[in-house]
Amino acid sequence: MAEVTLPDGSRLEIADGSTAKEVAEKIGHKLAEAAVAAKINGRLCDLSTPISGKAAVEIITPQDPEGLEVMRHSCAHVMAEAICALWPETKLVYGPTVEDGFYYDVDLDEPIRPSDFERIEQKMREIAEADRPFVRRQMSRAEALEKLAADKYKTDNINRAKGDTISFYSTGEFEDLCRGPHVPSTGKVGSFKIMSVAGAYWHGDPTQKMLQRVYGTSWPREKELKEYLERLEEAKRRDHRVIGKQMDLFSFNEAGPGFAFIHANGMIIWNAIVEFWRSVHERYGYKEIRTPIILDEQLWHRSGHWDNYKENMYFTSFDERGYAIKPMNCPGGCLVYKTRKHSYREFPLRVAELGLVHRHEASGVMHGLFRVRQFTQDDAHIFCTPDQIEAEIIGVIELTFELYKAFGFEDFHIELSTKPEKHIGSDEIWEVATNALREALAHKQIDYKVNEGDGAFYGPKIDFHVRDCLKRSWQLGTIQLDFSMPERFGLVYTDRDNTEKTPVMIHRAVLGSFERFIGILIEHYGGNFPLWLAPEQVRILPISDKSNDYAAQVEEELKAGRLRCRCDCSDEKIGAKIARAHGERVPYMLVVGPREARLGVVNVRIRGDRANMTVEIDEFLRTVQQKIADRTTDLSSGFAFVVF
C-alpha cells in the first residue's frame, strides 16, 4: 500500500502504484473531473503518474495558476497538431505559455494569415472532441537525439533540456518532444481562441531564420474566455496612444524614435505625480539629488556597464574624450557618495533621484510610452550596514504600497529572485541579504513567489507587480541588493570600531519609468483621471453669451483657488457644450445662466453621471480642493447643495 497525505493534512491509503487520477477519484468525482495535473511531493506531474510509498499529493485544477498553465500549454500542443494537420510540411519549434495564453513557433514557408485562424480553431475543436489521451513516453538522451536527428529545432531543444531522460507526448498520431506535464486528454484544453500571428526569430536571434509565432489563449470555461476577450476590447478602447492624442498628453516624432514628447497636459499629470512622490519620499526620510546624464566612458568601465550593457548604451565624444549617456543612475550616485567621508552614524542614507536615462531598445519592441528609449526613473539608492537591510526593505515595501494605493492599484504580487550560479560576493553575504529580504516580506505578511537562481550576479532582488483594472499585470518596482558596485567604486564608511568598511547598497525604483507609468495610468483610468491628476478639472459652461461675464467671474474665483479650469464661451448650444466636456473627460462641468448669476451659485454636472446639483461657488471650491488634497477618485459625494 501507498500512503498519501493531502493538502489539508488528511491521509489516504491506496494500492501501491495507483495514479494521481485515482487519488482524485477517491477524494471526489467532481474533483477528478476538473483535475488536469497533480503535485506529488511538490513536483508538478501528469495525473497518470503512479504513486508509491509515502507521498504528499495535491490535485491541480485549472483554478490553480499552475493548472491553468498546464491547460494552456496542452492547448498549444493541440494547436500545433491542428497546424500540422493543415500544413503537413510544418516544422515545430517550441510552444511555451505566456501571460493569458500560449504560443507555438513554427517554421513554415507559407504564411499563416488571420483568415486561417478559423480553420485552425475548427481543427482544434475536432481534436478536442476526439478527447484523445496525452500519452507520455521516455527514452534516453542518445535515443531521442537519434530519433530526431533530422529535426534541427527539436535536436536543439533536446540539447537545451536538463537530465538524462527525454520525454515525448503523443495524442494519437501526433507526437511532440516535451517535458510535460499535460492535461489527461485533448478534451481538457478549455475554451480556446487563436489570437494573432507574428514573425519571431529562432531564439530571438536576428541572424537566424524568421519563424511564425502563433498566439492563442485558453480558459477553463467559455464564460471566462468571453470575459477575457471583452477585457481585450476594453483595453483597445483604452489604448494610451489613442487617448494620449485625444487628450493632447504626448506625442512621438520621427526625429527621435522612442523618445517621448510630453505635452502641456501631460506635464500637468507628470508634475502632480512628482509633487506627490516627493512628499512621500520626504516623509520616508529620503534626500533628493540630480546627477549628469553624460559622463566619462571610463566610469562605465568601472561600473561594469561597459562589459555587460554596452549594446544598450548611447555614446558621444568631444575634445577627444569619450562619454556615455547614462543608462542607469547608480554610478552618478556613487560619485556623490564619494564627495565626503561617511560614518555608520548617518546610516541608513537614503538618496533619491528622478534620473533621466537612455537605453537603446530594438525598434520592433517600441510601443507608445510602454517601451521607450529615454525615460525618467524614480530611482533611489540606500547605503546601509548589513544589519539594517531588513528594516530598510520593510520601509521600501511600505513606501511602495502607499504610492501604488494612491493610484488605485490594490492587487499586487511580489517575486523574490535568489542567488544565481554565476555570482560575486561570499555565500555568507548572500545569505544575510536574501534572509533579510525574506524576513522583511514575512514581517509584512506578504505572500511572494520565489524565482530560484534568478537574481542578478551582484545581489538578490524583489520585484513588484501590480494588476490594473483590466487584470493586466505590470512589473513596476524593484528592490535590488548590490554587493558589487560599492566595491568597484571604493565606497567606504567608518564603522563603530573605527575601521573602514564597505556599505551595503540597495537600488530601488517604485514607479519604474515615469513615461511608462503614465501610459499605464492612462489605460488604467481609461483617460478618466482622478481630480488631482486631471489636466482640466473644471469647465464652466455659460448657457448663452448673456452669461459669459458671470462665467468669467466663476473662472477667476476657481483659478484663485488653484483649480485648473476654463470657460467654454463658444456660441454652441448648452447641450453640445456639455457633451463635448463629457467627451473630453473633464471631471466637473459648471452650467451657469442668469438664475445662477443672480444667486451666486453654479449648476454642477459630474463626469460619467447624469444627475446635476446646484452648489454655492465657495462651497464647490472648498469641496473640490479637499478632494484634490485627499487624491480621491470619488467625484460626487460631500457637496452641500442648494435646494430651491
Enumerate the active-site residues: 330, 359, 377, 379, 381, 461, 507
Give least dist CB 288 to Zn ion, A: 15
User: Residue 506 and residue 477: Cα distance in Å, rounded?
Assistant: 13
Give least dist CB 44 to Zn ion, A: 12
Output the CA–CA distances (angstroms, integers) from residue 639 to 82, 368, 558, 589, 617, in the order listed: 61, 39, 16, 14, 11
Cα three-residue angle 503-476-315, rounded to 5 degrees: 70
324, 260 in Cβ contact below 8 A? Answer: no
Stretch that binds Zn ion, among 115-123, 326-334, 425-433, 538-546 (CB under 5 A): 326-334
Q: Which positions ≥6 away from 181 have C-beta within 8 Å?
A: 37, 44, 45, 46, 49, 70
User: Residue 625 and residue 627: Cα distance in Å, rounded?
Assistant: 5
Of residues 156 through 185, those in contact with Zn ion by CB under 5 A are 178
Give the containing element (helix H, strand E) for 96: none
Of residues 563 through 592, those in contact with Zn ion by CB under 5 A are none
Give least dist CB 600 to Zn ion, A: 55
| CB nearer to Zn ion: pick between 330 and 581 | 330
- Asked if residue 507 binds Zn ion (CB under 5 A), the reply is yes
| CB nearer to Zn ion: pick between 62 and 527 | 62
| CB nearer to Zn ion: pick between 383 and 550 | 383
- Asked if residue 456 binds Zn ion (CB under 5 A), the reply is no
Give least dist CB 90 to Zn ion, A: 16
SS (H, E, C) 589-624: EEEECHHHHHHCEEEEEECCCCCEEEEEHHHHHHHH
Give least dist CB 486 to Zn ion, A: 11
| CB nearer to Zn ion: pick between 330 and 615 | 330
User: β-strand 538-542 against 565-567: which pairing, if any?
Assistant: parallel
| CB nearer to Zn ion: pick between 178 and 211 | 178
Output the CA–CA distances (angstroms, integers) from residue 153 to 73, 76, 84, in the order listed: 18, 17, 15
Stretch that binds Zn ion, among 224-232, 247-255, 273-281, 500-508 (CB under 5 A): 500-508
Give least dist CB 77 to Zn ion, A: 5
Stretch that binds Zn ion, among 233-241, 297-305, 507-515, 587-595 (CB under 5 A): 507-515
Exactly one of 211, 330, 567, 617 binds Zn ion (CB under 5 A); that residue is 330
- Asked if residue 371 binds Zn ion (CB under 5 A), the reply is no
| CB nearer to Zn ion: pick between 181 and 258 | 181
Give least dist CB 143 to Zn ion, A: 19
Q: What is the total count of residues that contact Zn ion (CB under 5 A)? A: 3
Residue 69 grid coordinates? 498553465
| CB nearer to Zn ion: pick between 419 and 461 | 461
Unique residue bearing C-alpha cell 506531474:
45
- Using alpha carbons, select from 21, 54, 69, 59 the residue that is nearest to residue 39: 59
**DSSP for 383-439, written as a single string:** EE-GGGHHHHHHHHHHHHHHHHHHTT--EEEEEEE---SS--S-HHHHHHHHHHHHH
List, in sequence order, every beta strand (DSSP E) within 497-542: 500-501, 504-513, 538-542
By three-state DSSP, how is residue 378 classified? strand
Binding site for Zn ion (CB under 5 A): 178, 330, 507
